[in-house]
C-alpha cells in the first residue's frame, strides 16, 4: 500500500475514534473537509474516503456508503495502485452484501478471481495456523502476539472484512487465555455477537463487579456505531443482572436511544430488536418511573402500531414492565395495546407475545381494562382451534357449551391417531388438522407415515377438561396412550402425548390412570421406543449438515416421570408406590436430564422416602447446574429433620452460595429462606442466616432480589 | 502453369544489376507454382504474394542501410531476395516424407498412416529445414524440386542457411552456425532482415475471408487468421525509423478487441525487433516498432466469433503466466548466481576470524548482512549476524552495539521471528538509557524497541517506549510518525480516549 502521511493517518484515527464515541456526523464532516484539501495524493484521498464509507457502513447507512464508492472513489482516483483497487473492491462488496443492496452482478466473483490471479490473500494463513497450533499447545505467549500482529496488519491494509476477522481472532484468543475482560473491544470492532456472549458469560462467572462496571462503561462509550451497538446490546442482554445499580438508568437510556429507532434495513432491525431484548433483561432492575419511560417509548414506536418483525420484541419489553408499573397506569397500557387484540381470534399464527402481555395486564389491571381486553380478544362467538381457547379461562371467558367441547374432543381424539399411519404403498397419508410436516418411510409394499404433530387441539381441550364427559376423556386418553405406545412414533410427538396425560390427570378415573401407568412405566424406566431414523436421516451424524431435532429419549423418560408424579394421587395404592419408587430411582440416573426431571417429579408427589431426601442433598453437589437447581428446590419442599440432614444441607448451601452461576445462587437464596422457616436448630439457623447475609450483597441483582422478596418460588 | 497467372514481381528497388534481377525474376517464376500448392490449407496465405510482400518490406527496411557505406552488396541482396521466395517452400512440399528432415524424426507411424492434420503440423513445424533441404537438393539437380536447377551464382548454401534459420531460436548453436559470416557476406544481417520482413507480413491481405469460410480451421489457426484480419497495414516511416502496426476493429467490438488483439500480436513482433536490432545497430541502422489503433467508424472489419476471442484471452493468460514464472525463476536465479559471491565473502571473513577481533568480525558481518538483506537473503543474514553478535557485541562501543542489535532485531523480525527480535533488544534497554539523549543511536534503539514491544503485545511497555522514542526523535517528522503510531496502537488496544489524545486534535 502507498505511504500515507502522518497527518492523514492521524486524521483517520481521530475520525474513527470520534465516530465510535458517538459523534459520527462530526467525524464525517472532518473527513469531507479533509478530502478536498490541496496537496493530497490519490492514495491519501482514498484512505479518507474509505474511512468515510466505513463509518457510514458501520452506522448501517449502506446506501450512503455505496455512494461514496460509486461517486467519490471509482473513476476519480486514477493513480491508486492495483492493490488499493482490490481494497476498494473488497470493501464495496462488504457494503453491498452487508446492506442487502442490489446485486453487484459478477463483480464480486471477478474481484475474487483477480485477487487469486494476483496472489493476493487476506491475512497470512500460515501465520494464523501457527498461532492456533501454538494456542492449542498452550503456547499462548506466541499465539496472542501473532494474532495481534495480524490485527495491526489488517488495520494497515484497510480491508474491513479482514480487520473484522483479525479482531475476532484476537478476542477469541483472549477468551482462551482467560482474559475475557480484555476482549470486549475486539468483539465490538469484530462485530462478533457470538463471542460477545461468551465474554459476557465469563464475566458473570468471575463475579468481579469492577470488571463488569468497566465493560458496561466502555460499551456505552465506544459502541455507538450501529453495527457495534448490536454487539453491545447482545452483551447487555446477558450482563443485565450484573449491571451495577448506578448504571441501570444510563444503560437503559443508551438502550432506549437504539430501541426507539425506526429501522430502515436488516441490520438496523437487528439492532432495534436486540436493544429491546436487552431492555427485557434489564427490566427487573427498573423502578416504576423507568418502566413507564420504557413503556412510553415502546408504545410510541412505529412498530407498535403494525405487526412486524420488531413488534414482538417491543411487546416483550412492555410485558416485562407490567409487574413494575403502577396499577392505574395499566389501563393506559391496555388502551395503547388493544389494537393488537383485534382480529387475534381469526389469526392462526396469533401473536403469542401480545397474548401473554394481555394475560399479565389482566392479572393486575382493573375490571374495566380486563373487560376491554376480553371483549377485544373474544369478539367472535366461536374461536375454534386457536391458542385463544387455551387461555380463555384466564381472561374470564367461558367457552361455548359442553356439546361443542365433546365434539371437539371427538375430532381431536381422531386427529391424535393420525400421527402415525401404516399404509399400503399406494395409500395417501391423511394430514392431521395441524401438522408441522410429515415423513414417510417405505419398506417393501408397506409404508409408515409419521406427522410432526402439533398438539394445539389437545392444549385447547385441557383447560376445558372439566366440561368433558368421562367417555370423552376416555376417548382422548385411548388415542393419546396409543400414540405414546406406538413404536413408530417420533419422540417429539410422544412428548406431546405425555404433556396431554399430565394435563388430563386430574379428570382421569383411577382405571384410566392405571392404564396410563402401564404405558408410562416402561418409558419412565428408560425403555423408549421410537421410529428409527438412523438410516433415513441420521440426525446426529457429524457429517450431516441438516440437523433435525426430533427429541431425545432422555426427555421422554423424564417426561414420563413427571406424568407419573402428576397421576400419583389417582393411581391404585400398589401402582402409586411403584410410581414413587421409579421417580426416586431416577434421581440417580446417569443422564442429567433424567435426574433433573426426576427431581422436579419428586417435588410433585406427596411424600418421598428419607433416602430420596438424602439423594436430593447429594444432588445439590451434582456437576450439572440444572440438576443442582432442582435438587435445592426439592429440598425446599421435602426435608428430613435430623442433624445429619441439616448439616449436609447447610454445607451444600454454603458451597452453592459461592457458585459462579447466578441461577444456583438465586435458588440457594430461595431454599435457605424456606429452610429457615422449618429449622428449629439455633446453630443451623445461624449458619443459614450467614448464607443469606452473604447472598444479600451478591453480585447479581436477581439473587439479591430473591433473598429480599417474599415470593413463593424463584 | 503460365507465369501470367501470378502478379508482376516487386521492384527489388535496391538491385541495380539487371542480370541479377533477371536471375531473381526467373527464380520467382519457377517457385511461384510450388508456393501456390497450398498444402497447409488452414494457414494464412503463403503463396508468392507473401514472398513478394517480404521483398517489399526488405526494400523498405534496408533503405537507410543502402544509403550508408554499410549497404548490402548485390550478392547479399540476391541471397536475401531469393530467401524471400524460398524460405517457406518447404511448407508446400507434399512429399515431405521423402526428405532427410522428416526421416531424421524417426516417426513410428508410417507417414501416410498419420492423420492429415498431424502430417500438416509436422510439415509446419519443420518447414524451414525442409525448405533448406529442398534448396540444397536442387543444386545442379536434374529434376530440381524447387522448380529450377540452382547453380553457384544462386548462392544456394546461403539461401538455404537463412531459410532454415528463419524459425530457429537465435540463441541456438544451429542458428549461430547457419548465420556465420561468408566471404563478404553478412549472413547474420541477411537472416535478421528476412525474419523481420517475415514477421511483418501479417496484414489483412493474408487473411482471405471467402477462403476462410470454406475451411474447417482449428481455434488456434482461427486466432492467427483473425489477428491478420484486424491488422490493417504495416507502415514503415523512414524519417522516424518507426514500424507501425495498424489495427482496425469493428466499431461495435472495438473497445473489447483493442485490449486483446494487439496484445496477442505485438509481443511477437516486438520480441523479434528486440532480437534483431542489435544486429542492425552493428551496421548503423535500426527500427522501433509500435502499434496504432485506427478508430474508424466506417471500418469493414468483421466480428470474430466469441470462441476465437476466448482462445486469444487464453493465449494471453498462458503467456502472462509463463512470464510470471520466468520472472520468479529469474529472482531465484539471481540469488543462485549470487551464492558464490556470498559464500566467498563469508568464507573470506571466516578465514580471517582468527586474526581479527570478535568486534571487527561483527562489524564486517554486519556490513555483509546489510548487503545480503538487500538481495533477499534474509535468513542467511540473520544466521551470520546472530552468531557474530553473540561473540563480538561486548567489544563494540555502546553506540555500535545498539545499532547492530537494532539491525539484528529488524532482520530477525523480517525473518518472521518477532519474539527473538524482542529478546535481542530487551537486554540492551539499560545500555540505551545510559546514552546521552542527543545520540541518534539511542533514538533508533528506542524506536526499534518500541516496535518490538508492539509486536510482542507488551502494551504498557510499548506505549511507554513510543513516548520515549517521540521524546528522543531528532526531527519533527520523526515525532509525527511515531505519534501517529502511538495513536493507532492506543486505538487498537481499545483505548479510544488515549487514541484521541495521541492524535491531539479535537474534533468538535
Shortest CA gap B457–chain A (Å): 5
Helix (H) or strand (E) holding A373: helix A367-377
For residue B1, the model assigns a pLDDT of 41
Nearest CA in chain B to A150: B455
Residues of B in contact with A18 (CB under 8 A): 500, 507
- Give pLDDT, residue A658: 93
Query: pLDDT tens digits, residue range A677-690?
Result: 888 899 999 999 99
Cβ–Cβ below 8 Å for A13 and B487: yes
DSSP summary character for residue B183: T
User: Which of A16, A158, A17, A176 is CA-nearest to residue A92?
Assistant: A158
Distance CA A454, CA A458 (A): 9
Residue B424 contacts by C-beta under 8 Å, 6 or more apart in sequence? Answer: B389, B405, B408, B409, B412
- pLDDT confidence of residue B93: 84
In this predicted structure, the answer to whether residue B505 has a pLDDT above a threshold of 50 is no
Of B493, B496, B505, the CB nearest to A10: B505
The residue count of chain B comes to 508
For residue B42, pLDDT over 70 is answered with no
pLDDT for position B3: 44
Q: Average pLDDT in the B196-202 region?
A: 93
Cβ proximity of A359 and A337 under 8 Å: no
What is the sign, positive or negative, of the torsion defined by CA atoms of B137, B140, B143, B145?
Answer: positive
| Residue of A3, A7, A14 to mutate, testing the B interface (most B Cβ within 10 Å of its Cβ) | A14
CA atoms of B356 and A278, how far apart (whole Å): 74
Q: Is A13 close to B484, i.e. CB distance below 8 A? A: yes
Residue B460: Cβ within 10 Å count: 9
Residue B175: per-residue pLDDT: 96
Q: How far is A121 from chain B (nearest CA, A)?
A: 18
CB contact under 8 A, A10 and B454: no
In chain B, residues with a C-beta closer than 8 Å to the C-beta of A30 are: 507
Give the C-alpha separation, A605 to A627, whole Å: 18
Q: What is the pLDDT of residues B63-92, one digit of tens each?
A: 999 999 999 999 999 999 999 999 999 988
| Nearest chain A CA: its distance from B342 CA (Å) | 29
- Among A4, A5, A12, A13, pick the best mutation site for testing chain B contact (most B Cβ within 10 A): A13
Tell me, what's the pLDDT at A397?
A: 74
B203-226 pLDDT tens trace: 787 777 767 766 777 888 889 889
Q: Are A381 and A394 in contact (CB under 8 A)?
A: no
Instruction: Kindly list the residues from chain A whose CB atom is less than 8 angstroms away from the CB atom of residue B494.
Output: 182, 184-186, 218, 222
Query: How many percent of chain B have pLDDT more than 90?
Result: 77
Q: Which CA distances in Å does B460 have to A167, A211, B466, B495?
A: 19, 19, 10, 12
Residue B163's pLDDT is what? 97
Amino acid B270: pLDDT? 95
Alpha-carbon distances, residue B418 vs A712, B64, B289, B448, B456 (angstroms): 61, 63, 51, 12, 7
Chain A residues touching residue B500 (CB < 8 angstroms): 13-14, 17-18, 21
- Please give the residue of chain A at the shortest CA–CA distance from B479: A6
Chain A residues within 8 A of B499 when measuring between CB atoms: 13-14, 17
Return phi, psi of residue A382, to 5°.
-135, 140
Residue B27 confidence class, pLDDT cut points 50, 70, 90: very high
Please report residues of B whose CB lies closer than 8 A to that of A10: 480, 483-484, 487, 503-505
Interface A–B counts its CB contacts (< 8 A) at 76
CA distance A99 to chain B (A): 26
Going from the C-alpha of B138 to that of each of A458, B39, B132, B143, the distances in angstroms are 108, 20, 10, 8
User: Is the CB of B496 less than 8 angstroms away from the CB of A27?
Assistant: no
A74: left (phi over 0), alpha (psi -120 to 50) or beta: beta
Mutation target vs A (from B421, B491, B497, B498; most A CBs, 10 A cutoff)? B491
Contact A9 B488 (CB under 8 A): yes
A151: nearest CB among B418, B481, B492: B492
Q: What pLDDT sits at residue A401?
A: 77
pLDDT of residue A538: 59
**pLDDT, average across residues B34-44:** 72
Instruction: Name the pLDDT band for B2 (thresholds 50, 70, 90).
Output: very low
Mean pLDDT over the full length of chain B: 91
What distance in Å separates the CA atoms of residue A145 and residue A588, rounded to the nearest whole number? 47
In chain A, which residues have their Cβ closer than 8 Å to the Cβ of B493? Answer: 185
What is the pLDDT at residue A706? 93
DSSP letter assigned to residue A72: I
**3-state secondary structure at position A450:** strand
Which of the 8 DSSP states describes residue B304? P
Nearest Cβ partner of B457 from A27, A145, A221?
A: A145
Comparing CB atoms, the residue among A7, A30, A218 nearest residue B507 is A30
User: What pLDDT score was predicted for residue A631?
Assistant: 97
Contact B494 A152 (CB under 8 A): no
| H/E element, B293 | strand B288-293
Interstrand relation of A435-443 and B231-237 (parallel, antiparallel or unpaired): unpaired
Q: How far is CA B474 from the centre of its chain?
A: 46
Which DSSP letter does residue B299 get?
-
Q: Which residue of A lies nearest to B490 if distances are taken between CA atoms?
A: A13
Look at A218 and B494 and tell me if their CB atoms are within 8 Å: yes
Q: Cβ contact (<8 Å) for B494 and A222? A: yes
Closest CA–CA distance from residue B399 to any residue of chain A (Å): 29
**Which grid coordinates belong to A289?**
418511573
Mutation choice for B interface testing from A17, A131, A231 by most B CBs within 10 A: A17
Min Cα–Cα distance to chain A from B481, Å? 5
| Shortest distance, CA B464 to any CA of chain A (angstroms) | 18
- For residue A637, give how far its alpha carbon lies from the nearest alpha carbon of chain B (Å): 50
Give the length of chain A.
714
Instruction: Report the distance separating Cα A315 and Cα A395, nearest Å.
Output: 18
pLDDT at A378: 81
Beta-carbon separation of B507 and A221 below 8 A? no
Q: How far apart (Å, rounded) are the C-alpha atoms in residues A435 and A254?
A: 43
Quote ipTM for the complex: 0.84
Residues of chain B contacting residue A151, judged by C-beta atoms under 8 Å apart: 492
Q: What is the pLDDT of residues B119-159, one digit of tens each?
A: 988 998 999 999 999 999 999 999 999 989 999 999 999 99
In this prediction, residue A382 carries a pLDDT of: 54
Question: Is residue A561 helix, strand or coil?
Answer: helix
According to the model, what pLDDT value does residue A98 have?
82
Residues of chain A with pLDDT under 70: 1-2, 103-105, 108, 345-349, 380-387, 399-400, 532-550, 711-714
Name which of B451, B457, B463, B470 to mutate to probe chain A: the one with the most chain A Cβ atoms within 10 A of its Cβ: B457
**Which of B415, B452, B496 to mutate: most A Cβ within 10 Å?**
B496
Amino acid at each position: 500500500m502507498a505511504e500515507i502521511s502522518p497527518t492523514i493517518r492521524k486524521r483517520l484515527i481521530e475520525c474513527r475514534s470520534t465516530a465510535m464515541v458517538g459523534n459520527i456526523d462530526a467525524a464525517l464532516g472532518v473527513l469531507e473537509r479533509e478530502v478536498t484539501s490541496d496537496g493530497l495524493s490519490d492514495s491519501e484521498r482514498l484512505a479518507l474516503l474509505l474511512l468515510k464509507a466505513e463509518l457510514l457502513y458501520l452506522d448501517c447507512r449502506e446506501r450512503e456508503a455505496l455512494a461514496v464508492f460509486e461517486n467519490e472513489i471509482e473513476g476519480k482516483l486514477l493513480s491508486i495502485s492495483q492493490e488499493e483497487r482490490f481494497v476498494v473492491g473488497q470493501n464495496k462488496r462488504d457494503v453491498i452484501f452487508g446492506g442487502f443492496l442490489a446485486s453487484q452482478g459478477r463483480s464480486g466473483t471477478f474481484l475474487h478471481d483477480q485477487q487469486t490471479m494476483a496472489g493476493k490473500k487476506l491475512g497470512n494463513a500460515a501465520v494464523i495456523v501457527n498461532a492456533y497450533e501454538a494456542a492449542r499447545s498452550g503456547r499462548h505467549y506466541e499465539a496472542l502476539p501473532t494474532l495481534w500482529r495480524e490485527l495491526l496488519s489488517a488495520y494497515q491494509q484497510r480491508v474491513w472484512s479482514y480487520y473484522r476477522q483479525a479482531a475476532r481472532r484476537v478476542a477469541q484468543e483472549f477468551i482462551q487465555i482467560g482474559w475475557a475482560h480484555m476482549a470486549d473491544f475486539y468483539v465490538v470492532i469484530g462485530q462478533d455477537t457470538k463471542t460477545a456472549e461468551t465474554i459476557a458469560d465469563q464475566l458473570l462467572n468471575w463475579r468481579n463487579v469492577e470488571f463488569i462496571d468497566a465493560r458496561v462503561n466502555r460499551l456505552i462509550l465506544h459502541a455507538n456505531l450501529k453495527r457495534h451497538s448490536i454487539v453491545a446490546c447482545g452483551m447487555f442482554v446477558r450482563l443485565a443482572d450484573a449491571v451495577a445499580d448506578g448504571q441501570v438508568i444510563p444503560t437503559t437510556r443508551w438502550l432506549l436511544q437504539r430501541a426507539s429507532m425506526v429501522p430502515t434495513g436488516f441490520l438496523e432491525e437487528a439492532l432495534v430488536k436486540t436493544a429491546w431484548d436487552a431492555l427485557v433483561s434489564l427490566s427487573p432492575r427498573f423502578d416504576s418511573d423507568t418502566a413507564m419511560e420504557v413503556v412510553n417509548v415502546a408504545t410510541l414506536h412505529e412498530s407498535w402500531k403494525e405487526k412486524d418483525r420488531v413488534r414482538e420484541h417491543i411487546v416483550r419489553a412492555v410485558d416485562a414492565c407490567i409487574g413494575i408499573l403502577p396499577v392505574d397506569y395499566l389501563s393506559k397500557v391496555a388502551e395503547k395495546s388493544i389494537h393488537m387484540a383485534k382480529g387475534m381470534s381469526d389469526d392462526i399464527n396469533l401473536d403469542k407475545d401480545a397474548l401473554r402481555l394481555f394475560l399479565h395486564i389482566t392479572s393486575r389491571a382493573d375490571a374495566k381494562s380486563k373487560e376491554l381486553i376480553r371483549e377485544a380478544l373474544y369478539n367472535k362467538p366461536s374461536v375454534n382451534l386457536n391458542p385463544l381457547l387455551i387461555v380463555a379461562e384466564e381472561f374470564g371467558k367461558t367457552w361455548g357449551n359442553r356439546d361443542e367441547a365433546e365434539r371437539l374432543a371427538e375430532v381431536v381424539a381422531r386427529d391424535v391417531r393420525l400421527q402415525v399411519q401404516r399404509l399400503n404403498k399406494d395409500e395417501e397419508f391423511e394430514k392431521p388438522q395441524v401438522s408441522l410436516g410429515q415423513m414417510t418411510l417405505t419398506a417393501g409394499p408397506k409404508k409408515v407415515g409419521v406427522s410432526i404433530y402439533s398438539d394445539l387441539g389437545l392444549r385447547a381441550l385441557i383447560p376445558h377438561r372439566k366440561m368433558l364427559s368421562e367417555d370423552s376423556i376416555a376417548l382422548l386418553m385411548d388415542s393419546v396412550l396409543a400414540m405414546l405406545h406406538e413404536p413408530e412414533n417420533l419422540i417429539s410427538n410422544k412428548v406431546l402425548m405425555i404433556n396431554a396425560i399430565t394435563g388430563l390427570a386430574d379428570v382421569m378415573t383411577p382405571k384410566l390412570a392405571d392404564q396410563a401407568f402401564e404405558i408410562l412405566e416402561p418409558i419412565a424406566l428408560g425403555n423408549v421406543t421410537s421410529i428409527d431414523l438412523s438410516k433415513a436421516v441420521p440426525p446426529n451424524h457429524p457429517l450431516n449438515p441438516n440437523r433435525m431435532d426430533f427429541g431425545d429419549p432422555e426427555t421422554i423418560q423424564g417426561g414420563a416421570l413427571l406424568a407419573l408424579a402428576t397421576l400419583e394421587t389417582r393411581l391404585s395404592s400398589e401402582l402409586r408406590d411403584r410410581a414413587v419408587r421409579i421417580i426416586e430411582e431416577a434421581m440417580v440416573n446417569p443422564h442429567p436430564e433424567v435426574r433433573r426431571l426426576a427431581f422436579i417429579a419428586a417435588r410433585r408427589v406427596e411424600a418421598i422416602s428419607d433416602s430420596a431426601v438424602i439423594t436430593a442433598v447429594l444432588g445439590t453437589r451434582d456437576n450439572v447446574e440444572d440438576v443442582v437447581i432442582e435438587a435445592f428446590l426439592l429440598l425446599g419442599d421435602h426435608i428430613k429433620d435430623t442433624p445429619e440432614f441439616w448439616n449436609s444441607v447447610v454445607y451444600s448451601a454454603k458451597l452453592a452460595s459461592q457458585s459462579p452461576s447466578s441461577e444456583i445462587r438465586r435458588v440457594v437464596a430461595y431454599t435457605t429462606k424456606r429452610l429457615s422457616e422449618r429449622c428449629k436448630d439455633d446453630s443451623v439457623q445461624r449458619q443459614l442466616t450467614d448464607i443469606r447475609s452473604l447472598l444479600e450483597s451478591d453480585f447479581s441483582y436477581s439473587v439479591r432480589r430473591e433473598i429480599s422478596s417474599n415470593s413463593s418460588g424463584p | 502453369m503460365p507465369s501470367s497467372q501470378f502478379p508482376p514481381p516487386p521492384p527489388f528497388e535496391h538491385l541495380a544489376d539487371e542480370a541479377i534481377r533477371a536471375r531473381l525474376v526467373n527464380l520467382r517464376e519457377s517457385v511461384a507454382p510450388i508456393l501456390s500448392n497450398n498444402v497447409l490449407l488452414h494457414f494464412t496465405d503463403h503463396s508468392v504474394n507473401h514472398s513478394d510482400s517480404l521483398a517489399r518490406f526488405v526494400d523498405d527496411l534496408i533503405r537507410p542501410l543502402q544509403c550508408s557505406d554499410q549497404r548490402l552488396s548485390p550478392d547479399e541482396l540476391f541471397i536475401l531476395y531469393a530467401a524471400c521466395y524460398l524460405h517457406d517452400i518447404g511448407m508446400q512440399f507434399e512429399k515431405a516424407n521423402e526428405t532427410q528432415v522428416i526421416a531424421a524424426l524417426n516417426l513410428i507411424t508410417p507417414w501416410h498412416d498419420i492423420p492429415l492434420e498431424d502430417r500438416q503440423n509436422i510439415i509446419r513445424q519443420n518447414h524451414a529445414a525442409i525448405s533448406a533441404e529442398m534448396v540444397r537438393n536442387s543444386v545442379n539437380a536434374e529434376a530440381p524440386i524447387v522448380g529450377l536447377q540452382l547453380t553457384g551464382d544462386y548462392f544456394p548454401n546461403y539461401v538455404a542457411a537463412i531459410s532454415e534459420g528463419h524459425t530457429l531460436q537465435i540463441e541456438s548453436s544451429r542458428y549461430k552456425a547457419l548465420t556465420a559470416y561468408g566471404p563478404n557476406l553478412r549472413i547474420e544481417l541477411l537472416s535478421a532482415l528476412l525474419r523481420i520482413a517475415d514477421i511483418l507480413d501479417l496484414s489483412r491481405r493474408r487473411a482471405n475471408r471467402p477462403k476462410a469460410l470454406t475451411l474447417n480451421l482449428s481455434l488456434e489457426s482461427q486466432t492467427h487468421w483473425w489477428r491478420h484480419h484486424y491488422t490493417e497495414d504495416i507502415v514503415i516511416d523512414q524519417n522516424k525509423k518507426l514500424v507501425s502496426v495498424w489495427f482496425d476493429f469493428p466499431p461495435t467490438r472495438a473497445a473489447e478487441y483493442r485490449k486483446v488483439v494487439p496484445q496477442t500480436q505485438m509481443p511477437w513482433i516486438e520480441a523479434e525487433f528486440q532480437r534483431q536490432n542489435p544486429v542492425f545497430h552493428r551496421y548503423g541502422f535500426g527500427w522501433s516498432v509500435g502499434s496504432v489503433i485506427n478508430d474508424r467508424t466506417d471500418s469493414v472489419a468483421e466480428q470474430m466469433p466469441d470462441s476465437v476471442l476466448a482462445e486469444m484471452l487464453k493465449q494471453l493468460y498462458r503467456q502472462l503466466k509463463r512470464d510470471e514464472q520466468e520472472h520468479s525463476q529469474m529472482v531465484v536465479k539471481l540469488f543462485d548466481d549470487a551464492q558464490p559471491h556470498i559464500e566467498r565473502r563469508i568464507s573470506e571473513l571466516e578465514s580471517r576470524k582468527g586474526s581479527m577481533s570478535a568486534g571487527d568480525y561483527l562489524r564486517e558481518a554486519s556490513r555483509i548482512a546489510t548487503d545480503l538483506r538487500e538481495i533477499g537473503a534474509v535468513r542467511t543474514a540473520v544466521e551470520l549476524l546472530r552468531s557474530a553478535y553473540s561473540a563480538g557485541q561486548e567489544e563494540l562501543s555502546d553506540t555500535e552495539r545498539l545499532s547492530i542489535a537494532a539491525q539484528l532485531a529488524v532482520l530477525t523480525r523480517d525473518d518472521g521471528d518477532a519474539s527473538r527480535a524482542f529478546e535481542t533488544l530487551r537486554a540492551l534497554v539499560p545500555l540505551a538509557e545510559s546514552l546521552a539523549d542527543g545520540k541518534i543511536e539511542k533514538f533508533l534503539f528506542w524506536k526499534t524497541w518500541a516496535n518490538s514491544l508492539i509486536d510482542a503485545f507488551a502494551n504498557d511497555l510499548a506505549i511507554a517506549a513510543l513516548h520515549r522514542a517521540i521524546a528522543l526523535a531528532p526531527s519533527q517528522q520523526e515525532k509525527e510518525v511515531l505519534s501517529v503510531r502511538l495513536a493507532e496502537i492506543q486505538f487498537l488496544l481499545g483505548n479510544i480516549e488515549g487514541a484521541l489524545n495521541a492524535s491531539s486534535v479535537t474534533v468538535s
